[in-house]
Chains A and B, each alone.
Chain A
Amino acid sequence: MEQSGTERWKLTRLGLYEPDYEKDACGLGFLVNVEGEKTNTIIRQGVTVLKNLLHRGATGSDDKTGDGAGLHLQIPDRFFRKICTENSWVLPEADSYGIGMFFLPNDDETRESCCLVFDRLVAENGLKMIGWRDLPVGAEVLSGISLREMPFFRQCIIDGCGLSGNELERKLYIIRKQAEKKAAEIIQEPDIFYIPSLSCRTIVYKGLLMPDQVEDFYPDLLDEMLESAFVIVHQRYSTNTFPSWPLAQPFRYLCHNGEINTLRGNRNWMAARERDFESELFGSDINNILPVLEANASDSANLDNALELLYNGGRSIDHAMAMLIPQAWGDKYPIGPDLRGFFEYHAGIMEPWDGPAAVVYTDGQRIGALLDRNGLRPARYTLTKSGFMVFASEAGVIDLPADEVKEKGALRPGEMLLVDLKEKRLLKDTELKMALARRRPYRRWTQENQLTIHGFFNAMAPIKVDLDNLFAKQKMFGYTREDINLILKPMAVESSEPVGSMGADQPLAVLSEKPQLLFWYFKQHFAQVTNPAIDPLREELVMSLMTFIGCADNILTETPGHAHLIKLSHPILSNEDLARLCSLDEKGFKSARLKMQFPAGGDGNVLEKTLKDLCLKAQEAVETGYGLVVLTDSNLDPGMAPIPSLLAVAAVNRHLISCRLRTGIGILVESAEAREVMHMALLLGYGASAINPCLAFETVAHLAETGRLGRVVSPQKAMENYVKALRKGILKVMSKIGISTLRSYRSGQVFEAVGLDDELINKYFEGTSSRIRGLGLDEIAEEVNLRFKQAQPDSYRQNSIDILPSGGHYAYRADGERHLWTPQSISLLQHAVRSNNYDQYLEYAELINNQHEKQSTLRGLLNLKTTKPIPLEEVEEASEIVKRFVTGAMSMGSLSPEAHETLALAMNRLGGKSNSGEGGEDPERYKPHPDGSDRSSAVKQIASGRFGVTAEYLANAKELQIKIAQGAKPGEGGQLPGHKVNEMIARVRHSTPGVTLISPPPHHDIYSIEDIAQLIYDLKNANPESRISVKLVSEVGVGTVAAGVAKGHADMILISGYDGGTGAAPLSSIKHAGVPWELGLSEAHQTLIINGLRSRVRLQVDGSLKTGRDVAIGAMLGAEEFGFATAALVACGCVMMRDCHSNSCPVGVATQDRDLRSCFSGKPEYVENLMLFVAEELRSIMASLGISTVDQLVGRSDLLEQNRYVKFWKSAKIDLSRVLYKPEAPKEEIRCTRPQDHQLGKALDYKLMPEVENAINTGNPVTVNSLMRNSNRTAGTIISNRIASKYGSAGLPDDTITLNFTGSAGQSFGAFTSKGMTLNLEGEANDYVGKGLSGAKIIIRPFKESSFNPAKNIIAGNVLLYGATGGEFYANGRVGERFAIRNSGAKAVVEGVGDHGCEYMTGGRVVILGSTGVNFGAGMSGGIAYVYDQQGIFDLNCNLEMIDLEPLSEQEDIAELRSMLENHFRYTGSEKARYILDNWRDCLPYFIKVFPMEYRRVLGKMTSEDEAVERALPQDN
């Protein structure tokens, strides 16, 4: 569909789409002649590499427009000399002239004025314009969006007039920055003025192109005179198809694969620093380059901006990169003090630009690459003996003779590499970093200048509880009994956040009559698809809560003074810590206390004025030399009410940033209001440096003193526990959005507001999304005043008992927050479905639907418009409608088998779908029951733990659902404690009874948008008949993610509301992460339409759907299908105990306890009745709207209007018009009307199929040989699916089908392959080899001709054997990060692994013959690894939380190891294996057995003394 710019413009203003959340990811690479020789060949090769990365990019809805591709090369001097000769221009010598590449407006007049402006700037800066060249382009290769949006292309040549090298480069940078500002005054959207490159060293050819269009589009590239020593290539995959020529990469200094998710914080901090920039190199030009970061540019573009500043400011390109994207350097990393000093010193200057990132960078003379600290992007390289190097997202992007190869490697997490063309050398990480670390005495500077405060962050001292005022203060700040009993108490006792279950069904803060803390209006962002969440427990070593106060002002210089900082090991200050800070008498660190208070009873104006005063006072304090601003709401003056701390902090922070005073100082918050993790996260996210939750400390101490915490917990211990819980919680909140360090989380504003007015947001929370408007300062003041009033002593009741209000957020209370699930609604629904009584159902529905008086949900604020009704008979039958209904994903571990099967039976009978949830399904259920009933879940879920995901499981699904996030706890993993893993669950999940099962927060094969396309492709291969769906959770930007997922060929996208249920999740996640589905669904629907993608993907919605009206509104906001989970459980007897996590469900729904399971009294008929009732109610609504089919209802938001009669004071200002916005589009473009093209036809398997067909059918062995290259992805999986469909998990006899491949295998080689298959690969492989391996044997060895030592080279990529359940794997070479992650059955032998080896492993055997990276065995609860450790430092690299290390002593272990090694040698010819076998007795002692403690206990191999010790597993829910 053709989209016009206006429609996009309208969407950004009238609809829910926000361009800020556009994401992209990519394939990238570079080729370089290390010797520096410039050739034309390398450019040809670059183009080939680009084409071979095609599958990493994406195309838009028209299948013609690429998301962007380009090349970056050295200025081809010969070529430009030719051009100049043709034009009779005089060209100075190389390095003394600059070439500019321009995207210019198509309008002649505007273009000429732009060029004139530029000419003038060149002259003003003392350079000379040699000439402009209209660039020839082959526009005929374009069509669709890229053609329509195509700018005009010109190059210019500038005489350096004596300047050359770095000086000229800097001057050109200054000119470009000036030109950008000047041009912005002339041109208007959609005109483009953009300079892809302006340099004396390099030039960029890029555009909104597909890789195979690049050279046809830029005929320059075909010129044989074009020569360079290197070429960088980039192919983009953006989450949407909105055309943008400038956002194609490479940029001027780098190109990037991944996502910078700390971008907003980085932008804020950069802006805050700009005032202090000073540089001899720039001199007075410094102001001409401000602002440093381009507005409205992508994360990658901004990173490029920051890099060019630091580079032109005088740092080397590698130094600048190491500052921007530092490796992790925490205590657990084995690095030396100098390097740690380097990073610590620079941490005070620049916060990390964090997120998945593979970056290729160059200054034209040096070219390098770097990987983020988590190593979340693939980065492989090959070096030839002749000095040619290729680096790319994948191995095998270009054919190189095997005997020419000198080395095959991969970048490890946080590593850099650099080719120096002058030195003609490849510099590896160690050399590079040590050179950086020692170029200045950073370590000493840090030690000497950092401020040390005696006793800082030591044990806590007792505090005196002010008993007289404690209660009044608690009331003033809205404390409830729940806050104390359910939040603070568990934190103080168990040092962890409390856990709950089931979803949030209380009103949104803006709809609640109870005065709400401002905190409650915000919702956490979380990572989904475009970047991964982090595991804050198992991968804590990459995370840090350390921050500095007094960060450096001028980042363009480096002096010892830059290290004059206060270091806080974490942001929660005890009372003494605060006192110590406040009593500092150090220059620059004196503190000013400012009270966050305003006159009680004052309205919004008063509040505004007070805030302004507060900001001015803070400004004054900083200007007069105070370095610490302490904002306090403790000890307020009489008659004063507290300003919400978040508001005060955000206001002061913003103000100081706008005065450019923020960087050097610390904002400390002494808050009686803040108590929960979410509160701390918000305060930090909006600028606080550190927080002292004083009233929470007092409350906790009081609880301990009065014995409420049991006898063992002293007040000090309780406070320490509480702080620990906060720290863990903050790490968790950061990890959810994938941010590793607090330094880049701070001021990052990764929140969305629901129910706050635009004016308020723009003034105090600028940049935060708030899409339905709502409260302003008046209402906020009113809420504070209400609390203030309630806290005033009542003279009449002073003798009466007074207790805190109940709260009622987490459990239903008569005086607490309202809930939709109440005893009334639950019992009415149950009685209705049991007695098949539709009238009673309608009574229930009325309780939920009627929100005229009291609103709970956004949909409650909507009215159906009155239209011409039609008779009910004309409406689609209920029996048809229910086929669109599904039950939610609930695992076999969370539900009892009885409940799980009841749902499946009911949905199968209705023709709807039930969902297996995470954790597999008993294969018994795949077969029809003798009575004909079908107990198999139609939807099979693939979650991050991959439990029970076998070829057979995948083959038996009608739909395969990738669960990216869950409404109740998006961005988090889960944990099924060992005691819940009974025999049945263990069998289905392919694990051991009694062994804890951990689901990681992210899918380890989805770190980025292009990865999900790969997983979708894998699953489609694993079951070509099944549709593939992706489950997302509603948050701002989900529309953009949905567009990306649609481009990745998902057949259906599920948008879940934040209020969906859970079997166990931290309470703060249930309440504070994600937003209502109305917002997310509508955003996704609108964004998909505007991108022209809506017609090829279905939308499903779930999250607290309870009635036919809910369904109707879901349909009108864009959904075609509807999911119910809690309602279906209630129909089965659930009484919303909200205690699913304790296995004590009294009605047998959510328990594995045998006795309790017998209490289950649900019947499929009840669920069927529910679904039919809902459909019936929907029918009557449709009849009243004059709509006869659900298809016609989809997307009809024009039939909805906001109920303006609602009189509630807080909701009066809500505006839902953006939710209801209906983009203009033809009928067939507003719902799914055509299938996705999965491009399965090109799969290699189909080419091989004729040769293996007979073997599959008869079991007669067959061997097939085939060539292989990196574009052949997911090889073997379709064949495996045929075996699994026919034979189930039993498969075929070993080696029935042998496939011999030669070449570089594409991603997911041998994914989900079944027993009976043997995949032999000679060459190398990329990421995800043997993902979900289900019994096959995979063997990889280097090319026969290769001469390097395999044991030292990388032969396969990252995340191998992820979730494997069986089979064998042998690789003669090293493999990447996260080897055998979540393996539960495969046996594997490799010669070395990267970081996080055997993470979350629950079963299987792994032999590693070489070194491992850090964090080996994190979260490993089962299986055994044998590691050959000749260095004796293996334990240093292990995560010892859950594992024991011991020598091999038992005969069975030794025998097992030996037989695996023998196999390894036999299959791969490994020299190392042979050596070890030949020297068995000498080598054996170097083997270490990695034995998970829990696994050992279950196997009965603990000594009795050891067994007696109670071990606490790291908790995660």
Chain B
Amino acid sequence: MTKSKPQPVNRKEPGYRDLNERIGDYGEVETTLTAAEIREQAARCMSCGTPFCHDYACPLANVIPEINELIIEDRWEEALELLLSTHPFPEFTARICPALCEGSCVKGIHDQPVTIRQVEKMIIEKGFAEGWVKPQPPGARRSEHIAVIGSGPAGLAAAEGLNKFGFNVTVYEKDLNPGGLLFYGIPNFKLEKDIVRRRINLMKEEGVIFECGVNVGSDISFNYLIRRFEAVLLTGGTQLPRDLDIPGRDLDGVIFAMQFLRSQNKRITGEPLLHGEDIAAKDKNVVIIGGGDTGSDCLGTALRQGAKNVYQFEILPRLPESRPEDTPWPLWPRIERVSSSHLEGGIRRWSVTTKKFEGDVEGRLKRLHCSEVEWVSEGGRQVPVEIEGSSFEVDADLAILAMGFLGPGPDPLADQLNLVRDQRGNLAVDDRHMTSMPGIFSAGDMACGQSLVVRAMADGKTAAEDIAEYIDSRGRER
């Protein structure tokens, strides 16, 4: 059959709510296209014989071309089924995924890629709205119990998968609400907490048990775990932020991005702020060090909190606007990305290095000493070299370090069990997700290092399959 010829429409994105409006609240900034528009956009998909979006780009291997075909045919419910067959939580990635698929979209070679993320969002939201998304508890329960420690993207995905297999799943979360990074890390204006709660509730209805406020390893012991559970999955994420070891680092007002974002998320959900968590940018000069997504999240948050001035410094040079030669298609293009927050204000600078935090007598941050750098090749590597005479200072009351993460960091349970770590400090696992101790598994950033939510979910999902296989194989051995 000849495939329907792609309609000659251009890529259309929904854009954001009006700037003046959205800056005044923490509600989701992105608007949505209409269903008709989505169908038009889906019809731009070419149903590639070798879809690069599907498996090469998408860690979950969403069957994007087939989903799009169903949308063109107006078969939303079937599209939802197909989407859910590979993807446990489309509502999260539909909001916060950088959409690797779009970076590899064949349509994007000489044109704009298909708006795959928007299609996904429409499908899942329509699914919730129409009541198609229903709890799907397993038809029968197995006798085995599994503990998942950590309720971030990896932990949730694993728990969901394990539960579907019929296992009794208990998720332990050290915070008061499940969701991990989804709940505490990502700003509400990108992912509203209700969206997370909606999924958690669904999982609860399916029979997953969430135990929050429990720090496994200190609150409950390993011995308890091993008695109760046939397998344990560690999905603690990457907790250790990269630090900036320069003079003045210990000044009051120099904080990590996660502290900042976390405090705001807690405010929104009404959770009590602990000592030192009450951080706000209101009327402050804020400098965010780090030009990535987290930095941009801080930027949007700071603006909403009413910061006086916000700067975002990045040590790397500014990236080109269109795909450069060093990341040819279908690689993820290294281009400058402008988030909704960037459109809301603040000043972005590139090739800037921070040399010193300067404080006042009370030890409060007052000023940053920076300079511009240029990147030169040294022994095959690009290294920054300070440009002479480019030093400058900038007044700052709050410096937020958003420079990425180094690994899981100390973990009570892992440390107690002396689980082997890899060179980068992540938990070492074999190709079946098992750590150095049989029966103890790890997935997500904790095992793989800092990455995207979608990768963590994919990893959690396969970890669930591996654990099921592990339990089955033990059963066979007996």
Contact = CB atoms under 8 A, between A and B. Distances in A.
Contact of A819 (B50, B54, B82, B141): B50
Interface string B155-190: 000000000111000000000000000000000000
Interface in A804-840: 806, 810-815, 819, 821-824, 826-827, 830-831, 834
Interface stretch (A282-290, A1074-1082, A1134-1142, A1179-1187): A1134-1142
Interface stretch (B30-38, B131-139, B361-369, B380-388): B131-139
B164 A481 contact: no
A704 to B, nearest CB: 14
B6 A796 contact: no
Contacts of B139: 794-799
B1 A812 contact: no
B49 A810 contact: yes
A1144 B49 contact: no
11 contacts: A499-B2, A708-B73, A797-B165, A797-B166, A798-B139, A803-B82, A812-B54, A823-B50, A824-B56, A1135-B106, A1136-B48
B213 interface: no
Given A813-B63, A823-B56, 4 more contacts: A708-B73, A803-B81, A827-B56, A1142-B5
A811 B51 CA distance: 8
Given A801-B81, A814-B54, A1139 B47 contact: yes
A29 interface: no
Contact of B48 (A498, A800, A811): A811
Contacts of A1142: 2-3, 5
A1138 B329 CA distance: 19
Contacts of A1138: 48-50
B1 A823 contact: no
Given A831-B328, A1135-B52, A1159-B109, A800 B3 contact: no
Given A494-B1, A799-B139, A801-B136, A814 B55 contact: yes
B446 interface: no
B107 A823 contact: no
B105 to A, nearest CB: 10
B153 interface: no
Main secondary structure of the interface of A (DSSP, over half): loop
A1136 B164 contact: no
Interface in B1-29: 1-3, 5-6
A801 B138 contact: no
Contact of A1137 (B57, B104, B106, B331): B106
Given A796-B164, A813-B63, A1135 B48 contact: yes
A502 interface: yes
A1139 B46 contact: yes
Identify the 6 closest CB pairs spanning chains A and B, nearest first. A1138-B49, A823-B56, A490-B1, A798-B139, A796-B166, A814-B61
B84 interface: yes
A813 B330 CA distance: 17
A481 B85 CA distance: 13
A811 B138 contact: no
Interface string B39-67: 00000001111111011110001010110
B140 interface: yes
A1137 B48 contact: yes
Contacts of B164: 796-797, 800
A1492 interface: no
B267 interface: no
Contacts of A796: 138-142, 164-166
Contact of B110 (A486, A831, A1141, A1159): A1159
B49 A800 contact: no
A234 interface: no
Interface of A: 481, 485-486, 489-490, 493-494, 498-502, 708, 794-801, 803, 806, 810-815, 819, 821-824, 826-827, 830-831, 834, 1135-1139, 1141-1142, 1144, 1146-1148, 1159
Contacts of B142: 796
Nearest to A1160: B110
Contact of B109 (A490, A799, A823, A1146): A1146
Q: Which one of A501, A502, A814, A826 has the greatest number of beta carbons of chain B within 10 Å?
A: A814
B49 A502 contact: yes
Interface of B: 1-3, 5-6, 46-52, 54-57, 61, 63, 65-66, 69, 73, 75, 81-82, 84-85, 104, 106-107, 109-111, 136-142, 164-166, 328-331
Contacts of A1147: 109-110
B50 to A, nearest CB: 4
A827 B2 contact: no
A1136 B330 CA distance: 13
Contacts of A1141: 2
B50 A1136 contact: yes
A822 B57 CA distance: 12
B85 A1146 contact: no
A465 B9 CA distance: 39
A421 to B, nearest CB: 61
Nearest to B1: A490
A823 B55 contact: yes
Nearest to A1138: B49
Contacts of A486: 1
Contact of A823 (B84, B104, B328): B104
B48 A801 contact: no
Contacts of B55: 812-814, 823
Contacts of B330: 823, 827
Q: Which one of B47, B75, B139, B165 has the greatest number of beta carbons of chain A within 10 Å?
A: B139
A1144 B111 CA distance: 13
B140 A811 contact: no
Contacts of A827: 52, 56, 328-331
Contacts of B54: 812-814
B49 A1136 contact: yes
Contacts of B3: 1139, 1142
A1146 B46 contact: yes
Contacts of A801: 81, 84-85, 136
B49 to A, nearest CB: 3
A811 B49 contact: yes
B50 A821 contact: yes
Contacts of A814: 54-55, 61
A797 B104 CA distance: 33
Contacts of A798: 138-140
Contacts of A826: 50
Contacts of A811: 47-51, 65
Given A796-B138, A811-B65, A803 B85 contact: yes
B140 A795 contact: yes
A1139 B49 contact: yes
A1144 to B, nearest CB: 6
Nearest to B53: A823
A1229 B339 CA distance: 71
Nearest to B134: A799
Given A708-B73, A1144-B5, A1146-B107, A799 B50 contact: no
Contacts of B111: 1146
A894 B84 CA distance: 39
Nearest to B326: A835
A1148 B55 CA distance: 24
Contact of A1144 (B6, B165, B328): B6
A1146 B47 CA distance: 12
Contacts of A799: 136-139
B328 to A, nearest CB: 6
A502 B138 CA distance: 43
A1230 B282 CA distance: 87
A570 B61 CA distance: 44
Given A502-B49, A795-B139, A796-B139, A822 B56 contact: yes
A650 B170 CA distance: 55
Contacts of A1135: 48, 50, 52, 106, 109
Nearest to A490: B1
B165 to A, nearest CB: 6
Nearest to B107: A1146
